[in-house]
Chains A and B, each alone.
Chain A
Amino acid sequence: MVSIRSISADPGSLTPNDLPWIIEHREDRCTLCGRCAAVCPVNTLKLAYMRKRMPKIALNSSERGSSFKTFVGIRQNTDVGRRCIGCGTCAMVCPNEAIHPVHNKTDRYRFQNTKNGEAPKRGGRRNEPGPNLLDRISFNRISMLTDPALDAGRHEFYMNTLLGRVLPPEEFVRRQAAGEWIPPVREIFPFIIGSMSFGALSPNMWLGLLQGVAYCNEVLGIPVVMATGEGGCPPWVLKSPFLKYIILQIASGYFGWDEIIRAIPEMQCDPAAIEIKYGQGAKPGDGGLLMWYKVSKLIARLRGVPEGVDLPSPPVHQTLYSIEESVMKMIQTMSMAFDFKVPVYPKISGSNSAKSVLNNLVRNPYASALLIDGIDGGTGAAYNVSMDATGHPIASNLRECYLDLCAQGKQNEIPIFAAGGVGKNGNITQNGMALIMLGASGVHMGKFIMQSAAGCLGNEQNRCNVCNLGICPKGITSQNPKIYRRLDPDKVAERVAETFMAIQTEMKKIMAPLGRSQSLPIGMSDALGIGDKDAAERLNIRYVC
Chain B
Amino acid sequence: MKDNGKVTNIFLSGVGGQGAILASNILGEVFIKAGYDVKKSEVHGMAQRGGDVTTHFRFGKKVHSPLIKYGDVDYLLSFELLEAIRYINWVKPEGKIIINKQEIFPPAVNLGQMAYPKDIEKTFKKYFKENVSMVDGQGIAKRLGNVQAANVVLVGAFSKFFPEVKDQQWIEAIKTLLAPKLHDLNVKAFYEGKKAL
**A and B: partners?**
no
**Which residues on A are within 8 Å of B, measured CB to CB?**
none
